[in-house]
Amino acid sequence: QSIPFFIGFIALEFAVSWVQRRKLAGRINDGISSLSLGILSRLPDVLFRSIDLISYVYVWDNYRLFELPWHSPWTWYLTFLGVDFAYYWFHRISHEVNLLWAAHQVHHSSEDYNLFTALRQSLLQRYTSWIFNLPMALFIPPSVFAVHLQFNLLYQFWIHTEVITNLGPLEFILNTPSHHRVHHGKNPYCIDKNYGGTLIIWDRMFGTFEAEDAKVVYGLTHPVNSFEPIMLQLRPLAHIWNTFWATPGFCNKLSVLFKGPGWGPGKPRLGLPEEIPVITGKEVPYNPSVPAYMNSYAVVHFAVIVDLYIDLLATVNILSQATVLLRIGVMILSLTSFGLLMENRQDIKLFFIIFLRKAGILEFIRCSIFLCIYKLGYLRSKLSFLDYSYEVRHLFLITYAKDTRNLLLKTNKTK
């Protein structure tokens, strides 16, 4: 139900950014990457119930000590503080424990800072965050907890923007865009600061607050340089795996997992501050040159996938399990292909010209699978006028790809 509001506020942010700076608030490649990660992170909800609520209700049903009255305002105030307090510690530990950081870093991997970034979420993070909420299940009703869990998440959407500068006295209490910009910065003064969700008071209390000062440069201190959502999710885990086996000593191996991402043998738990890369202000975001027609292609096809995603959420209860799994598979394949197209690496020729390299052949396969599944009736749009455009567009692409590929192969043989 929040998706239309997200879209509306993103459009508003772009309009305000253009008025303020004559500049759009983001880039197509980074925006598609962020939205792809957001969709990917929510796909488990289609298949499974929320682990947050399952675990919470289980503890409430079996181990609660007493029950605070649902109708009392004080129960709601206490839950508001409890959820935000739990989020602060979960968020902080996600930065200070390497294994948890491997999941959370997805949210920090964008080198832009806009409302798209708010939707850039980890697929794996939810499987650790639920633990921090369980103490509340000893006395706070699940329905009250569920409301505040959603509120805490939704609140954090609007603070991912540069168009709001300072909110005056509210900066002392609330987590604001200014505070959260610091949290997303890779400047040395920004590292491991401002963990709050709704309130900034926890950071002030526990010594992790930092006010916005020098211009913030966004992203990871060691950028992943990819727009492909699966790569962004799994590469940090692969790095931990390799580091774990390359590090001598059992205790050191455990430290690789449970100390900070900057830790190494002989270093303090969170690493050495002087090893954080210096920010010069001349950093250039990862932004491969992509032709305008490829950007247009990616945007149109991504819009189709968003439409399918929204339709899946609305109809999941009446679809067969096989259909749901098939649609999820198409979405994951599509998002992966779009990410590779947006990278346009030197070893990947423009997919409209040569369909023999990684991105091109994957997109060719994706379109073929999409068309076959669509013709079998497993993919349907809520927008009936798209029925013909799906088929015409994909038939045109596949026919054009085959003709172009055959022509190029023939030309190469002649040469």
Q: What angle do CA 139, 142, 146 make, to 5 degrees?
A: 125
Question: Among residues 215, 217, 220, 232, which one has the least CA distance to residue 261?
Answer: 220
Instruction: In whole angstroms, give the CA distance from residue 123 to residue 245.
Output: 25
- The span from the CA of 341 to the CA of 334, in Å, is 11
Question: CA–CA separation, 193 vs 356, rounded Å?
Answer: 46
Q: Quick one: 154 exposed, middle or buried, by C-beta within 10 A (0-12, 13-18, 19+)?
A: middle
Cβ pair 286, 223 in contact under 8 A: yes
Rounded CA-CA distance 203/100 in Å is 20
Handedness of CA 20, 21, 22, 23 (dihedral sign): negative
Question: If you ran DSSP here, which 8-state letter would residue 22 be given?
Answer: S
Block means of pLDDT (10 residues each) for the chain, 415 residues, are 85 90 84 93 84 92 94 95 97 96 94 94 89 96 94 95 93 96 95 96 97 92 90 90 93 94 91 88 86 84 87 85 87 88 59 46 72 68 55 58 55 54
d(CA 415, CA 408): 11
Write out the two tokens for 72.
């009392």
d(CA 95, CA 107): 11
Residue among 118, 98, 101 at smallest CA distance from 6: 118
Give the C-alpha separation, 310 to 137, whole Å: 32
Give the number of other Cβ atoms within 10 Å of residue 398's Cβ: 15
Residue spans per domain, the chain: 2-206, 292-412
pLDDT value, residue 131: 93
Q: From residue 258, give the alpha-carbon distance in Å to each of 245, 261, 333.
A: 15, 9, 33
pLDDT of residue 2: 80
pLDDT, position 39: 93
Which residues make Cβ contacts (< 8 Å) with residue 392, sequence separation at least 6? none
Q: Is 94 left (phi over 0), alpha (psi -120 to 50) or beta?
A: alpha
> Can you give the pLDDT at residue 379?
67
**Which residues on neighbouring strands pair with residue 81, listed in sequence order?**
none
> Within a 10 A sphere around the Cβ of 347, how many other Cβ atoms?
7
Taken as a whole, the chain contains a residue count of 415
Determine the Cα–Cα distance for residues 199 and 85; give it in Å rounded to an integer: 9
Of the candidates 109, 16, 190, 60, the residue with the CA atom closest to the CA atom of residue 178: 190
pTM of the model: 0.86
> Beta-carbon neighbour count of residue 181 at 10 Å?
22
**Under a CB-based contact definition with an 8 Å cutoff, are residues 68 and 75 in contact?**
yes
Q: How many CA atoms lie within 13 A of 202 on its CB side?
A: 20
CA Rg, the chain, in Å? 23
What tokens does 123 get? 């697929």
Token digits of residue 335: 């998002």
Nearest to residue 200, comparing CAs of 103, 100, 286, 87? 87
For 399, other C-beta atoms within 10 Å of its C-beta total: 10
* The token pair that represents 324 in the structure block: 């749901």
**Residue 370: per-residue pLDDT:** 73
Angle at 34 between CA 302 and CA 322, to 5 degrees: 55
> How high is the pLDDT of residue 38?
93
Side-chain-side CA neighbours of 400 within 13 Å: the count stands at 12
Calpha distance 201→211 (Å, rounded): 13
